[in-house]
Structure 1
């Protein structure tokens, strides 16, 4: 799986995605990551799910509710500080839908984590991220 931690940035796909994000000055890559998960017809592949979780971290931070995983990723923090993304309600709604797809039975990432010894830790990280999207 190329994962070294259960948080949203603790895998190769998310790390590469954050590097790509640095080439953008808007939310286009964030929206694309969500669209890849939401547009999956049957099965959500692990790389797309991992990128979407990293994108959702950017959304939560843009709302002023960063998670510990986000604050630990210097590149993501720097990008949000530089771009100061304006997060609209539709983007938050899509982020919540994407989380549901990632946690569903037809998600490779969920399956991979269920096969690991860290499934509960990963589920808690995703729950924390989902909570960050909710209004206070």
Structure 2
């Protein structure tokens, strides 16, 4: 089963504990070297299913805002939920793929306003940034490069890269 922009994971959880010399940021001491699992996506989807239809957009907006505007360091749970929320925004884009039926919400989602696309791009940018715990965890995982490609694929649906210009517009 494809886990999308999330790694496959064994059943143990990583433990994240602050280290004495690292003020302001948690150091990683992993019992399991793999980052978080698809179960986290299912938990997020379950939370959405339990939310009233007219409140689901605001839940997704709040999750994206937390991932897009971390105070300093983006913790893994906020990053994971940010990726899951961004994937739901991508699923509604004409060029996007539907949300995974195994890990996506089973209840209907409202049509999202266009401004959520920009917020989702910002969230994805922070998820892969240097000050992201999830990016750090994936940087240590064997499938880290694939994860980054998956995040880039999601981002490119919402904000496609400009194609290379073949001819100069003017001579220098």
By how many angstroms is 1:78 displaced? Answer: 3.5
1:37-52 correspondence runs (5 A): 37-52=67-82
- 8 A Cα contact 2:41 2:103, kept in partner: no
Where structure 2 has 5 or more consecutive residues not aligned to the other structure, the ranges are 8-36, 161-172
Matched length: 127
- TM-score relative to the length of structure 2: 0.65
Q: Structure 1 residue runs of 4+, over 6 Å off?
A: none
2:46 alignment counterpart: 19
Q: Describe the SS at the equivalent of 2:112.
A: coil
Higher helix proportion: 1
* Cα RMSD (Å): 2.3
- 8 A Cα contact 1:37 1:44, kept in partner: yes
Whichever of the two has the greater Rg, that structure is 2
Where structure 1 has 5 or more consecutive residues not aligned to the other structure, the ranges are none
Mapped partners of 1:125, 1:67: distance in 2: 12
Larger RCO (CA under 8 A, 6+ residues apart): 1
